[in-house]
Amino acid sequence: MNTSPIPPSADEPRWLTAEEQRVWRSYIEAATLLEDHLDRQLQRDAGMPHVYYGLLVKLAESPRRRLRMTELARYAKITRSRLSHAIARLEKNGWVRREDCPSDKRGQFAILTDEGYEVLRRTAPGHVDAVRQAVFDRLTPEQQKSLGEIMRIVAEGLQPSEAGADLPWLR
C-alpha cells in the first residue's frame, strides 16, 4: 500500500507500509522526547546538555581520564568542530583541559579534571534515575533485551567500515 502523499512514478521508491510508518514515527517521537527529557534533567542538575555529559562519562571511563580528541569525536559521533566547541565550553567550566599529544604535533588529548569528575559524580545519580524512569521502568526485561538487540543491529548497519566513509568525526 502506498502511504506517500506523492503520486507514484515509474521509478517508484519502496514506500513504508502503514505499519512501518507507525513504527518509524513512534521511534522518532520517542527519541526526540527522550533526548529532550535527558537534556532538561542535565541542564537543571549540572548546567550541561546531554552530549557534554556523554563526553565527561567517556573521559571518566578512559585510562588516566584522558582520550585523544579524534577518539572522543568518534565515540560521540560528532564532527571535530562540534567536539572542539564542546570541549572549549567544558574547559571554561574547569571540567576538562586539553593537552598536546607528544607523538603527534597535530593531536590533542582531552583530560577530565578533578572538578569535572566531581561534577560527574554528583550528576550521575540523577541522570541514571532519569534514564531508568524514562526507559527501563516502562519495559519488561524481555522488551529491554529486544530493544538492546534492535538498537545494536541498527547501529552496526549505520557504522560504515570502508575507508573514506563520510563519518561525522572525520569532518
Distance of alpha carbon 39 from alpha carbon 50, whole angstroms: 5
- For residue 120, give the nearest of 70, 47, 40 by alpha carbon: 47
**By the 8 A CB rule, do 59 and 96 touch?**
yes
**Unique residue bearing C-alpha cell 604535533:** 105
**By the 8 A CB rule, do 97 and 91 touch?**
yes
Return the bridge partners of 100, or none: 108
Q: What is the DSSP letter of 61?
A: H
Cell numbers for 120, please give them.
560527574
**By the 8 A CB rule, do 65 and 110 touch?**
no
Alpha carbons within 13 angstroms on the beta-carbon side of residue 47 total 7
pLDDT tens track for 32-43: 999 999 999 999
Task: Tell me the three state secondary structure of residue 94.
Answer: coil
Q: What is the pTM of this model?
A: 0.84
Query: Which pLDDT tens digits describe the chain residue by residue (171 residues)?
Result: 555 666 666 678 899 999 999 999 999 999 999 999 999 999 999 999 999 999 999 999 999 999 999 899 989 988 888 999 999 999 999 999 999 988 877 789 999 999 999 999 999 999 999 999 999 999 999 999 999 999 999 988 887 766 566 666 666
Give the list of residues 6+ apart from residue 13 with CB closer than 8 angstroms, or none.
4
Cell numbers for 50, please give them.
546531554
Q: Which phi and psi (to 5°) does residue 98 adopt?
A: -105, 150
